[in-house]
Amino acid sequence: MSGEDVRRRELPNEVLLPEVAALLAAGSDVTLLTKGNSMLPFIRGGRDSVRLRKFPAVAPGDIVLARLPAGNFVLHRVLRADGGALTLMGDGNVRGTESCRAEDVAGTVVAVVRPDGRERAPGRARAWKALRPLRRYLLAAYRRLFKRNVQIL
């Protein structure tokens, strides 16, 4: 199937993500267009897609699609793994974390896909994690810069 044959259709996360989790559990890779700003500056919602794959284990720094205890899914980075308990946080969030169990991880991001099809590895964002106390200011500067670039285009 060529790129022109692919049709895009937006579905609510409550409908789409359980199906994505089932495909990942069956061993398929899944590529999803992202939404939201919680993973800025590394993943831009509405622009970047992510390719997900199911792995037997995850580690701090991995970006995962996980089902939270309330039943909703998030695509966030693993901050801590303590036995079977995971702490997650979006790169674009200045505070607030989520918790889930390792078995609630549906898949791990193996590639970030740009609109032109270029792929890059997601990386572990060690420097970004170390800059967490400054994240509010860095994200504000990033958003101002991005807003100007959009207006210029």
Tokens 């622009």: give the residue.
Answer: 47
Q: For residue range 13-54, what is the model confidence (pLDDT) as tens digits?
A: 889 999 999 999 999 999 999 999 899 889 999 999 999 999
> CA–CA separation, 83 vs 119, rounded Å?
32
Q: What DSSP line would sit under 30-46, residue for residue?
A: EEEE--SSTTTTTS-TT
pLDDT of residue 5: 56
**Torsion sign over Cα 18, 65, 51, 9:** positive
Candidates 40, 36, 21; CA nearest to 138 is 40
Candidates 50, 61, 27; CA nearest to 120 is 50
Phi-psi label, residue 56: left if phi above 0, alpha if psi -120 to 50, beta otherwise: alpha
pLDDT of residue 6: 62
Residue pair 90/39 in contact by the 8 Å Cβ criterion: yes
Q: For residue range 86-124, what is the model confidence (pLDDT) as tens digits?
A: 999 999 888 889 999 999 999 999 999 999 999 999 987
Which domains does the chain carry? 9-152 (2.10.109.10)
